[in-house]
A and B are shown apart, each in its own frame.
Chain A
C-alpha cells in the first residue's frame, strides 16, 4: 500500500515535471513568435500581456494572466460560462480575440470581491446574494452568471433578468435560486 502510494507520488511528480517542461517550452515558442503586447484595464488596474492576437480572451485570462475564475464550458458561445465584461458589456470570452480588447476595460469575477474573497464581508453584494440564496450548486456556471447579472440594468424585471441570463446555462438547473439572488441584489441597488 505504502509502496504503491510512493510510486503514485513519483509518477505524479514526473508528470508535473513533464508538464512544467512543456509549459516552459510553450512559453519559449510563444516568445519566439514575438507575441505583441496587449495593454488593457483589467479589474480596474492597468495590465499588459504578450499574447498572439487571435488567442481567445478566455485563454489569455486563464493562462497568461492567471485568472482562472473565468470558466470554459462549450467553447462555442452557447453556455455563457466564460462571460466577462468588456467596456461594461457581457461577452463570451471564448469568442473574443485577445487583440480586440486592447485599450478596453475588462472585468472578470476576480474583480468583484474587495480583498480576500474568502471573507464574506469582502464579497460583492451580488456574490453575497448568491450565497444567501444557495444560488450555486456545482459552481461552474457561477462566475459567468455573476458577470452577466452585473451587466443587467438596475430596473430589470424578472422577465428581463431571465432574458439577460438566457445566454448562461446552469446544468444543475438551479435557475430559480439564481433569479431570486439577482432580483434581491437589484432590489438593493435600487434603494
Chain B
C-alpha cells in the first residue's frame, strides 16, 4: 500500500505523465475504433516521421511561453531556413553543400529570432505584435528569394547529412524522432537546471521580481527569441530534408504547435513550462487527425472530435493547475470536503 502510494506520488509529479496517459488512452481507443490501421506498426512509424517538425518548434515555443511571451513567427523561419538550406544545397559543392546549407539555415533562424528579441526586449513591442509582423515579413522574404518556386534538394537521399538527421537505420525508426527526443531532454535541462532557464521562469512569473533580483531581463529575452529562432530553423531543416523538397509556404503548423504546448500543461500565464508535456502533447495533436480519419466516421466530424479532445485536455489542465494527477486528485478531495461543509 505504501509502495503504491509512493509510486502514485512519484508518477503524479512526473513531468508529462498525465498527457502521456492521454496519448496512451487515445491509442487504445483508436485500436478499438480503427483496428485495421492501429494494430499495425506502420501508422506509428508514420507519426514518428510527421510529428517531429511540429514537435521541435513546439519545444522551443514552450520556453518562449514560459517566459510569458509568444512567438508567432516560427512558421516563417521554417520556410526561410528551408530556403537557406536549399540555396546552399544547389550553390555549393555536393561534398559539403549540406553542412553549409544547415549552417546558413540556423544562421537565418538566429537572425530572425534576434531581431524579434530586439523588438520585444529593447523597444518594448509586445511579442504577439512583433512576431506576427515578423511572420508576414519573413514569409514574404522567403517567397521573394525563392521566386515563389519550390526547389528540390538534388541527391539528398544519398547525402550523409540526410542519413544522420532523417535516415532510418534501426529497424526503420525515423531518426528525426530520436533527435527531437534528444532536443527535448536537452531543453528540459536548460529550463530546469540551467541559470538561463531559471531566469526564463522568473521573467515569465514576474519580470519586476526578476529585475530587482539581478536577472538581466533584456539580455535573457533576446537570447530566448534567438534560441527559438534557431530551434525553428532546425525544425525547417528536418522538414525540408525529410521530403527532399523546399516549398516556400512550408511550415504552416503554428496552431498545432501552440495546441501541443497547451495540451502539454504549459500555461499561457508564463512562469512554468512542461517540456515533456509538450513532447507528448505534440504526439496527441499529431495523431488526432489521422486517427479520427482512420475510424472512417464522416469527415465532417474530424475537426469536432479534434477540438473536443483538445478542449477536454486544457480544461483538465486548468482545473488541476499544474497538469498532473496528484493535484487533480487533491482538487477533487477539496471539492468533496467543501460540499460536505456547506
A and B co-occur in one complex: no
Q: Which residues of B contact A (CB under 8 A)?
A: none
